């Protein structure tokens, strides 16, 4: 995506997102370099996963409403990209992006799910999300975390995402209550938190990420953590399908037993 397209979301005065309709609720001192590094890491992981898994065509972006990924990344056909974000911010951002000519990949669909919805699980399903098909979730944006809460987000995803689905993202350590710079503590906390919701998780150090990308390491202590988690349990849709199958087998067994008598 050209810089002119991304630049439509920036204020010419201070260089930040100029969205008066909904100012940020929580901020961190994460440097621009950290943010670019995290975005590059998540983009690469996302594209690698969707290109290596043919059935992975449901992508859910949990964002601040200004995520340009639907427009600047090349999605496999056909894909459905769900953007879960504040409604007013998304409306303004999408209008500005479309004004620059930004478009989602051909034969793919972008569906917005307002963060203000009382039941995100129900709304996602109403808009076509299938809990018995693989899905990829991307979490990068503070407004959603401060509005819903990390544990509630994990609970919702664990109910919606089928076994084997992937969640990748970036989390501020201030929401985790862990010590800045202590990766061992962060890893242990993340493993416990995610496993309690049915996920196996891994965390990634910004310095190692930069090294693997052949980039200069970021300076200063990091205040966020990058992670990748895999869903280990069955989704609600899978459980419902399993119970229907089990009941059908029982009914067929009862009918065969009756005929033998």
At 109, which CATH number? 3.40.50.150
Are 58 and 135 contacting, i.e. CB atoms less than 8 angstroms apart? yes
Strand order in the sheet with 136-139: 109-114, 80-85, 58-62, 136-139, 166-172, 224-231, 199-204
pLDDT band at residue 179 using 50, 70 and 90 as cut-offs:
low
Give the model's pLDDT for residue 39: 93
Please state, rounded to an integer, the average pLDDT across all residues of the chain. 82
Q: Which of 186, 214, 215, 218 is nearest to 202 (CA)?
A: 186
Residue 231 CB burial class (10 angstroms; 0-12, 13-18, ≥19): buried
- Domain assignment of residue 228, given as a range: 3-260
Are 253 and 231 contacting, i.e. CB atoms less than 8 angstroms apart? no
Give the model's pLDDT for residue 25: 40
- Nearest-5° Cα angle at 165, 163 to 166: 140
For residue 6, pLDDT over 90 is answered with no
14-59 pLDDT, tens digit per residue, is: 344 444 444 344 444 557 888 889 999 999 999 999 999 989 999 9
Measured distance CA(5)–CA(84) in Å, rounded: 21
Residue 243 CB burial class (10 angstroms; 0-12, 13-18, ≥19): exposed
pLDDT band at residue 148 using 50, 70 and 90 as cut-offs:
confident
For residue 11, pLDDT over 50 is answered with no
R_g of the chain, CA atoms, integer Å: 21
Split into its structural domains, the chain has a count of 1
């Amino acid at each position: 995506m050209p810089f002119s397209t991304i630049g439509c979301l920036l204020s010419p005065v201070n260089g930040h997102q100029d969205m008066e309709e909904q100012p940020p609720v929580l901020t961190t001192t994460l440097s621009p370099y950290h943010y670019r590094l995290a975005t590059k890491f998540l983009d690469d992981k996302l594209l690698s996963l969707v290109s290596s898994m043919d059935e992975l065509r449901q992508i859910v972006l949990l964002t601040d409403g200004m995520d340009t990924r639907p427009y600047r990344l090349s999605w496999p056909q056909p894909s459905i990209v769900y953007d879960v974000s504040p409604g007013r911010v998304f409306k303004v951002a999408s209008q500005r992006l479309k004004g620059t000519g930004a478009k989602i990949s051909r034969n793919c669909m972008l569906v917005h799910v307002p963060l203000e919805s009382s039941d995100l699980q129900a709304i996602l399903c109403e808009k076509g999300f299938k809990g018995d098909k693989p899905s990829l979730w991307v979490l990068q944006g503070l407004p959603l975390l401060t509005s819903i809460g990390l544990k509630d987000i994990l609970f919702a995803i664990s109910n919606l995402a089928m076994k084997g689905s992937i969640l990748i993202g970036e989390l501020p350590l201030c929401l985790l209550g862990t010590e800045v710079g202590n990766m061992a503590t962060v890893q242990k906390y993340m493993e416990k938190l995610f496993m309690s919701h049915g996920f196996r998780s891994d965390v990634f150090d910004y310095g190692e990420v930069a090294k693997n990308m052949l980039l200069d390491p970021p300076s200063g202590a990091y205040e966020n953590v990058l992670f990748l988690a895999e869903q280990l349990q069955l989704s609600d849709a899978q459980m419902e399908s399993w119970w229907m199958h089990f009941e059908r087998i029982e009914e067929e067994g009862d009918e065969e037993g009756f005929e033998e008598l």
